[in-house]
């Protein structure tokens, strides 16, 4: 008998609680801090030839954070005209060459650039010293 009374009381409490729940329309969330930081991260990359000789050259790439937030894990893409140089060695970067395209990513010690900061990295190329057709920097 007591169990039945308790059961009925619990049912009444649940019914009252369900009656007071109001369904709100969905609200779109504002961008998170992480989203804002990604949107505020911007960079530029400058390619210069530091030295050259008949069979090769040294290329320097300066990456600059032009945004208002720290630049984390940037990527520089360099596209060369034919014939593309062959990259023989690099420093302060991880580099992958696929034909005429060179993809450069930072090492753990230079992957975060505060606003306004720059880092210069580079490589030695074998072949002709030609200017790239494009040099782009991508945040993130």
Assess if residue 25 is contained within a domain: no
The C-alpha atoms of residue 74 and residue 45 are separated, in whole angstroms, by 10
Assess if residue 5 is contained within a domain: no
Task: Please state the rounded mean pLDDT for residues 127-137.
Answer: 90
Assess if residue 75 is contained within a domain: yes
Q: What is the pLDDT of residue 40?
A: 63
Q: What is the pLDDT of residue 56?
A: 94
Burial of 88 by CB count in 10 Å (0-12 exposed, 13-18 middle, 19+ buried)? Answer: exposed
Assess if residue 4 is contained within a domain: no
CA atoms 107, 113, 119, 125: torsion sign: positive
Residue whose C-alpha is closest to residue 105's, from 43, 48, 50, 56 = 43
Q: What is the pLDDT of residue 5?
A: 52
The CB-side HSE value for 124 (13 A sphere, CA atoms) comes to: 6
Assess if residue 82 is contained within a domain: yes
The separation between CA 54 and the C-alpha centre of its own chain, rounded to angstroms, equals: 37
Q: What is the pLDDT of residue 20?
A: 37
Q: Where are the alpha helices (DSSP H) in 2-126?
A: 2-20, 33-40
pLDDT digits (tens, 9 = 90+) for 77-118: 999 998 899 999 999 999 999 999 999 999 999 999 999 999
CATH number at residue 133: 2.60.40.290
Number of folded domains that form the chain: 1
Task: Please state the rounded mean pLDDT for residues 60-77.
Answer: 96
Domain membership of residue 45 as a residue range: 40-138
Assess if residue 15 is contained within a domain: no
Tokens 């008998």 label which residue? Answer: 1
Assess if residue 32 is contained within a domain: no
Task: Please state the rounded mean pLDDT for residues 17-45.
Answer: 51
Assess if residue 44 is contained within a domain: yes
């Amino acid at each position: 008998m007591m169990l039945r009374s308790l059961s009925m009381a619990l049912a009444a409490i649940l019914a009252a609680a369900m009656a007071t729940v109001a369904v709100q329309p969905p609200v779109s969330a504002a961008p998170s801090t992480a989203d804002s930081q990604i949107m505020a991260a911007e960079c530029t990359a400058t390619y210069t030839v530091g030295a050259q000789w008949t069979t090769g050259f040294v290329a320097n790439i300066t990456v600059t954070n032009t945004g208002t937030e720290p630049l984390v894990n940037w990527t520089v893409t360099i596209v060369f005209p034919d014939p593309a140089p062959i990259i023989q060695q690099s420093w302060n970067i991880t580099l992958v060459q696929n034909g005429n395209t060179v993809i450069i990513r930072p090492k753990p010690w230079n992957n975060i650039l505060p606003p306004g900061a720059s880092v210069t990295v580079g490589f030695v190329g074998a072949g002709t010293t030609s200017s790239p057709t494009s040099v782009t920097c991508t945040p993130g």
